[in-house]
Amino acid sequence: MTYCETNMNTSKAAKKLFIHRNTLTYRLQKVEEITTFDTKCFEHCMLLYLALKNQLYYIPCILT
C-alpha cells in the first residue's frame, strides 16, 4: 500500500517502510509472481491497493 501511496516510487516507499530499496523491489517481484499483476502498471497497482484496503476494512468486522 505504501508503494501506491508514494506514487509507485520505490525509493520513497522503501524509506517510509524503513527497508532497503532492493528489499522492496524483491518483495514487489514476489507479489508479481503470486498475482501475475505488473506492479509497475498504475491500473494493476490500484487494483492491488483497493483489494488490500478492502481486506483491511473487513478484517476487524469479522473478528468482532
Express each pLDDT in 17-59 by its tens digit: 999 999 999 999 999 999 899 999 999 999 989 988 887 666 5
Domain limits at 15?
2-63
What pTM, to 2 d.p., does this model score? 0.77
Question: Residue 61 — very low, low, confident or very high, per pLDDT cuts 50/70/90?
Answer: low
The domain tally of the chain equals 1
More confident residue, 28 or 1: 28
The residue whose grid cell reads 503470486 is: 34
Q: What is the pLDDT of residue 54?
A: 83
- Alpha-carbon distance 47 to 64, whole Å? 27
